[in-house]
């Protein structure tokens, strides 16, 4: 059965990584409680590539920033839409969104993806 993935790339100031991690951990609980199959938030580690584009270049990181690469797995796009509707209405997420964010939301890249290969 094909799955559906929401993907995110976010430049985050290194000095705000602890705050980002706390926020991501709380957010993951919201998504999982509403039916997401898997939730990943990953910090850039090996990002110096030769001969191809890089996540820092794509995310236009500034000095002192790193890249967060994240994805959430769903059964289908319809399942994603149902889960995200519940997530966006959840008071736990609403509370997170009212305070200062540990990253610039306008620089976040987001998209939904159909699975091409899954093993």
**pLDDT at res. 118:** 86
Q: Let me know if residue 5 belongs to a domain.
A: no
CATH number, domain containing residue 43: 3.30.70.100
Q: Let me know if residue 28 belongs to a domain.
A: yes
**pLDDT at res. 92:** 95
How many domains, in total, are found in the chain?
1
pLDDT digits over 27-58, tens only?
999 999 999 999 999 999 999 888 898 999 99
Task: Calculate mean pLDDT across residues 59-68.
Answer: 95
Contact status, residue 64 vs residue 15, Cβ threshold 8 Å: yes
Q: Let me know if residue 17 belongs to a domain.
A: yes
**pLDDT at res. 100:** 87
Residues in contact with 91: Cβ distance below 8 Å, sequence separation at least 6, in sequence order? none
Residues in contact with 53: Cβ distance below 8 Å, sequence separation at least 6, in sequence order? none
Task: Calculate mean pLDDT across residues 72-76.
Answer: 98
Residues in contact with 28: Cβ distance below 8 Å, sequence separation at least 6, in sequence order? 39, 41
The pTM of the whole model exceeds 0.85:
yes
Q: Let me know if residue 3 belongs to a domain.
A: no
The domain containing residue 66 runs over which residues? Answer: 13-47+55-105
Strand arrangement, sheet containing 38-43? 38-43, 65-74, 4-13, 109-114
């Amino acid at each position: 059965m094909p799955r559906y993935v929401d993907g995110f790339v976010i430049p985050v100031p290194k000095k705000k990584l602890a705050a980002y991690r706390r926020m991501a951990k709380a957010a993951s609980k919201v998504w999982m409680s509403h039916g997401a199959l898997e939730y990943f938030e990953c910090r850039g580690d090996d990002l110096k590539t030769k001969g191809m584009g890089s996540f820092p270049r794509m995310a236009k990181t500034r000095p002192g920033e790193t890249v967060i690469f994240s994805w959430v797995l769903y059964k289908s796009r319809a399942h994603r839409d149902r889960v995200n509707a519940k997530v966006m209405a959840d008071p736990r997420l609403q509370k997170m969104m009212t305070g200062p964010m540990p990253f610039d939301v306008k620089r976040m890249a987001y998209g939904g993806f159909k699975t091409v290969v899954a093993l």
